[in-house]
Structure 1
Amino acid sequence: MSTTVTSVLQDLGESAERTHCGYCASRRRRRPASEDDPATRGTGQDAPCHVLLASLWAHLLLSEDYKALMDAGWRRSGCFLYLPDNRRTCCPQYAIRLPVEAFRPSRSQRRVLRRWTAYATPVDSLSRLCLSGDEDEMDAEVDQAEKSAATLPEERKSSPTRLADAMNGMRRCNTSAAASHRSATEATSAPIPATGHLTPRANLDEQLEALRRIEPTLRPVPPARRAASGGAHYMTAAAFSRAHHSGEAVEVVAQRIADALRPHEALVREVLVCGGYVNVHARQEPLHVPTSSRLSPANTRCSPRRSTPTHRLRMQLVEAAFRSDAFALYCRYQRAIHGDDEHELTPHRYARFLVQHPFPRYPHATSRDGAYHLHTYLDERLVMVGVLDVLPGAISSKYLFYDPELPSRLSPGVFSTLCEVRLTRELFREPFYYMGYYIHSCGKMRYKAAFRPSQLRCGFNGQWVDWATVARPALDRDEHCDGFAEAAGDPERCENGQPVAGVAGAPSPAPAWHAVSVWWPDAGAPKPLHALPDRLRAQVLPSISRFARHVPHRVLARSVYIPPAVE
């Protein structure tokens, strides 16, 4: 007799907790009571910090069902699954993911990899995979300007003239640089500037003129002040004057200017926003030549790339299980980073949070799906643990904890994410890397959006939209905005304004109720809904109808449903 494994989900209903919020506690921000919230209407109380549309306990959960739930906005903590109510919670949480094939490390992210390369030598296949290919990715980024015309998003293709101007400007820059190099070679020797930098002036002037067609207020940054501007070649403070006349926030105006400059990859390598200033890193770097001052004994510190590593780096991917060294590392991390009290750091809480999982175990199966821990060792000492879910079509990052004594310049969070992205693409060959939730007003979450092109889930149409061009402008205007496409002026992409499963106010679906299996104590075993006695069926219908608003129909139809009243 063959048995079919299916998910077993117990409905826990809605939840509204008035405990403190770890994301906004430092900002002391609490939402006032809302007349639309029956929990606080007329009470004068603060709105709840954590509000869930739905929650459940997964006694058993197939990996493909959890992937479908994640695409509907759900996340898990151990065996507990929850769906935030972004309209009422204090810190709206939006599901975020990264298409790994389109990802290219930024300059700062490549710098993190170089620091690890200089700090430690990889000694196993996993660590070599994570630290290899840095040069190839940098070359790919340079070649991206030539390939961009075929891979541009739709919003960039709508401006072919501006793109052509930028490409032509880049060609003129290259021609001018070659001419400058020939002239310098044929001329008599001239004294080298004391700064040690020889800048092809004509090249940068041509580049500046091309960029001024996009942003006329750009000005060159003097070489002596580039270090204070993060190495930027050009800068504009136009956001201050424009915000003064328009009444908008200066950060919003500065971000709009940066968004206009970023698409022109032929000229711009990176655009950074700091307050109301926009710093532009040009694609063409100045030439560096050594001088006696740079080679003086006081400045003989080697660059990270050329320094000799003094540590050994090893990585190991293991199935999620309780290990004493990982638990000790978790306690050190929680004390130092999150300020947890000792009574909170118990083996039971740790195991329930990061070890237990609802995925089935098949003793003789070849499936690689399930919960894993990625251990990172320095000189055989455990210094970092990443908690991952391997699912069909995606790798989901659940949590990371590391040794708080690691040098801050190693950026453990960024390094771990870079490693997991590479494992997603090269080892598991899955298309997406899920990074949990993104909170727009939380500084701890900003690193997630720095992995471009990140996508956020739109709460109206359930589709994944680009963070930089669609989601961010909407969240800048309203942090509690669910329908990014509607806020961006494209309501037709939001299914005529009707929210889908996972959004408060979504229309109740009408699935084939006879296909839903229900477990009830009096029934003895899971039975189809239509086979329950009339009294029990009448009790189950309201809860299952509400639950079905937030769960994909294909998951509910093939799962065993346990109503909230069951204990």
Structure 2
Amino acid sequence: RVLYQSFRSSRCGYCNDETAVTAWMVGYSVPVGLYQELMNHGWQRLGTAFSVCSMPATCCPQYASRTDVTRFQLTASQRRTLRRVLRFVGGRCGPKPDKLSAAELDAEALAEAELSLAAAGPPDSRKARHLRWRRRLDRLRQRAASAESPDAELSRLLAESAARRLRRRQRNSAHSLADYARAFARLDPGRFQVRWLSPDSRELQDSLHDEYACYLTYQQSVHRDVDFDWSFRHFCDVMVSTCLAAERATGRGTYHVQYWLGDRLLGVDIVDVLADSASSMYFFYNPELLRLSPGSFSALHLLSRLSTWHLSFPQGPPMRYLYLGCYVPGNRKLAYKSGLRPFQLLCPETRRWFDFDTVCRGLLLANAGSKYARFAPPAADPAAAAALEASSAAAARDALKVRLPGPSGGLVQPKFVAVRDLPDGAFGRSTAAALDLLGQLAELVGPDAARQLAVVLEVALLLQGGG
């Protein structure tokens, strides 16, 4: 069940203008499947409410973003971030790669030596790597020429050369995210600890005031928000309250991921774990840690944890995506998200996901002067595509269930009726406005989510032309 409110202007959290245009709906016990459908249509959760911006009207375009957990690869910059945090929390040991035994090294060297001759390429090749291999082989042949068995000596020299390369490659090998996860796991829990706490847990209730203090410091120092509501009640409403229906048996639900250094709270990432993905709803941290790139570190920790989530909860499917909230082009605070490759953005028109590096980056630059960029290619038949989209939106609207108002205009009938079955004049003189709002909502959530929604409209706002 949701309470829907149409688009209205408010203060933008990115440029501080009063030109952010956003639609809201308040949710009540939203199942994980419906939540994931809403995420795939650009909705973001804050407390018990979901919001989506109007891209043609809002000041700062907010693109929904995500990364693929199963195909994520660390970059050199992210490894530096992990090393900085590891040093900061006292783990100077760092990750250690698994070493090959002497027998394994000899076997690998012999196998690579057999490939050395082929690596020289055809005799007429002028490629640089082929020329380097030929020069190397010529030097080894000269050294082997004086031996009793030149061919056997050449094979031995090739194996020695390959073994040296393997040792050097192993010594300089790039550590994986799992290597760093093991390094953090070796730390003393009394020194550094990551806690995943559900909203109803006693441990979270005991640490809420620590979270509140960290949250206030973050808002004042990082966002410099002078008009912010600083009350503890507001913090609980937007950060602690959740509308996601938990499924604890499969590990699905809302978690507060707390990062502790001794008895000092470093930061909190509020995460919603869904059917086969998770969403980082909001992250705040101690501003003194800004040099450690805390946003990147927390995202990397989530990726590491989600990659092994199915081992802890085998009842559910493996995690596929981590949703990263909105991405605003040109915003430096959100720039780290594009480095979590493969990074994807949601097309605001077709509601399809596109790769940032191969598709979105160039289109964002090309459309820098426009309100937003469309990532999907233009339809071959625009008229047919528009007709299909209109038909789909009408079907989605008819599938919505809406609560009927009472005779006096108040919501007194606890009955939800599909839009297709609404009686004529169900909302009195506001019926046309109600149908317009329901059509708008159906277009914003898509047909799959529309079939699961039961909508409450505020009649008093309908009379004013709102939602």
Pairwise same-fold verdict (TM > 0.5): yes
- The equivalences for 1:58-137 within 5 A come to 58-120=27-89
Q: Which residue is equivalent to 2:242?
A: 357
CA distance in 2, matches of 1:361, 1:114: 35
CA distance in 1, matches of 2:261, 2:285: 12
CA 110–309 in structure 1, closer or farther in 2 if over 3 Å, else same: same
Instruction: State whether residues 543 and 564 of structure 1, in contact with CA within 8 Å, keep that contact through their aligned partners in structure 2.
Output: no
Q: Deviations over 1:372-409 (max 9, x none)?
A: 11011112321111111111121101111112223x44
Q: Which residue is equivalent to 2:133?
A: 175
Query: Offset of 1:346 from its aligned partner?
Result: 1.2
Q: Which residue is equivalent to 2:303?
A: 421
Q: Does 1:51 align with 2:21?
A: yes
Q: Does 1:548 align with 2:420?
A: no
Q: Does 1:346 align with 2:231?
A: yes
Pick aligned residue for 1:448 from 323, 337, 353 = 337
Q: 1:14 aligns to what SS in structure 2?
A: strand
CA 500–426 in structure 1, closer or farther in 2 if over 3 Å, else same: farther
Q: Which amino acid aligns with 1:426?
A: T
Query: Offset of 1:511 from its aligned partner?
Result: 2.1
CA 551–107 in structure 1, closer or farther in 2 if over 3 Å, else same: same
CA distance in 2, matches of 1:385, 1:401: 6
CA 495–116 in structure 1, closer or farther in 2 if over 3 Å, else same: farther
CA distance in 2, matches of 1:109, 1:367: 30
Q: Deviations over 1:506-551 (max 9, x none)?
A: 6772227775432234252123246655322562433222221212
Q: May I ask how many residue pairs the two structures share in their alignment?
A: 372
Q: Deviations over 1:312-363 (max 9, x none)?
A: 221110013551111111112222212234962211121122111112356x
Q: Deviations over 1:262-306 (max 9, x none)?
A: xxxxxxxxxxxxxxxxxxxxxx99x99xxxxxxxxxxxxxxxx9x
CA distance in 2, matches of 1:342, 1:446: 25
CA distance in 1, matches of 2:460, 2:139: 80
Instruction: State whether residues 98 and 433 of structure 1, in contact with CA within 8 Å, keep that contact through their aligned partners in structure 2.
Output: yes
CA 135–341 in structure 1, closer or farther in 2 if over 3 Å, else same: farther
Instruction: State whether residues 388 and 397 of structure 1, in contact with CA within 8 Å, keep that contact through their aligned partners in structure 2.
Output: yes
Pick aligned residue for 1:510 from 394, 403, 412 = 394
Q: Deviations over 1:239-263 (max 9, x none)?
A: xxxxxxxxxxxxxxxxxxxxxxxxx
Query: Offset of 1:15 from its aligned partner?
Result: 1.2
Pick aligned residue for 1:481 from 351, 367, 372 = 372
Q: Deviations over 1:32-61 (max 9, x none)?
A: xxxxxxxxxxxxxxxx62013x32111331
Question: Which one has the largest radius of gyration?
Answer: 2
* Runs (5+) with no aligned partner, structure 2: 100-124, 145-167, 173-182, 311-317, 407-411, 462-467
Q: Which residue is equivalent to 2:193?
A: 314
CA distance in 2, matches of 1:327, 1:342: 17
Q: Does 1:333 align with 2:222?
A: no
Higher helix share: 2
Q: 1:448 aligns to what SS in structure 2?
A: helix
Q: Which residue is equivalent to 1:237?
A: none
Q: 1:60 aligns to what SS in structure 2?
A: coil
Q: TM-score, normalised by structure 1?
A: 0.58
Q: Which amino acid aligns with 1:552?
A: G
Q: TM-score, normalised by structure 2?
A: 0.69
Q: 1:535 aligns to what SS in structure 2?
A: coil
Q: 1:105 aligns to what SS in structure 2?
A: coil
Q: 1:436 aligns to what SS in structure 2?
A: strand
CA distance in 2, matches of 1:173, 1:378: 54
CA 70–513 in structure 1, closer or farther in 2 if over 3 Å, else same: closer
Instruction: State whether residues 400 and 454 of structure 2, in contact with CA within 8 Å, keep that contact through their aligned partners in structure 1.
Output: yes
Structure 1 runs of 4+ aligned residues shifted over 4 Å read 131-136, 167-171, 176-183, 308-311, 490-501, 512-515, 530-533
CA distance in 2, matches of 1:500, 1:331: 48
Q: 1:485 aligns to what SS in structure 2?
A: coil
Instruction: State whether residues 102 and 453 of structure 1, in contact with CA within 8 Å, keep that contact through their aligned partners in structure 2.
Output: yes
Q: Which residue is equivalent to 2:15?
A: 24
Instruction: State whether residues 3 and 25 of structure 2, in contact with CA within 8 Å, keep that contact through their aligned partners in structure 1.
Output: yes
Instruction: State whether residues 117 and 309 of structure 1, in contact with CA within 8 Å, keep that contact through their aligned partners in structure 2.
Output: no
CA distance in 2, matches of 1:354, 1:86: 25
CA distance in 2, matches of 1:61, 1:313: 34
Query: Offset of 1:116 from its aligned partner?
Result: 2.5
CA 402–179 in structure 1, closer or farther in 2 if over 3 Å, else same: farther
Instruction: State whether residues 327 and 350 of structure 1, in contact with CA within 8 Å, keep that contact through their aligned partners in structure 2.
Output: yes
CA distance in 2, matches of 1:312, 1:180: 56
Instruction: State whether residues 459 and 499 of structure 1, in contact with CA within 8 Å, keep that contact through their aligned partners in structure 2.
Output: no
Q: 1:534 aligns to what SS in structure 2?
A: coil
Q: Deviations over 1:94-115 (max 9, x none)?
A: 1111011211111010111122
Q: Which residue is equivalent to 1:560?
A: 454
Q: 2:251 aligns to what SS in structure 1?
A: coil
Q: Does 1:431 align with 2:320?
A: yes
CA 173–507 in structure 1, closer or farther in 2 if over 3 Å, else same: farther
* Runs (5+) with no aligned partner, structure 1: 1-7, 31-47, 123-127, 137-166, 187-283, 289-304
Query: Offset of 1:16 from its aligned partner?
Result: 2.1
Percent same amino acid at aligned positions? 26
Q: Deviations over 1:104-141 (max 9, x none)?
A: 1110101111222333357xxxxx9xx868889xxxxx
CA distance in 2, matches of 1:324, 1:106: 36
Query: Offset of 1:418 from its aligned partner?
Result: 0.7
- The equivalences for 1:138-537 within 5 A come to 171-172=129-130, 175=133, 312-320=191-199, 323-341=208-226, 344-361=229-246, 366-406=249-289, 408-428=290-310, 429-479=318-368, 480-486=371-377, 491-492=379-380, 498=386, 509-511=393-395, 515-522=399-406, 524-529=413-418, 533-536=423-426
Instruction: State whether residues 246 and 254 of structure 2, in contact with CA within 8 Å, keep that contact through their aligned partners in structure 1.
Output: no
CA 96–361 in structure 1, closer or farther in 2 if over 3 Å, else same: closer
RMSD after superposition? 3.9
CA distance in 1, matches of 2:36, 2:321: 11
Q: 2:57 aligns to what SS in structure 1?
A: coil
Q: Which amino acid aligns with 2:375?
A: F
Instruction: State whether residues 459 and 500 of structure 1, in contact with CA within 8 Å, keep that contact through their aligned partners in structure 2.
Output: no
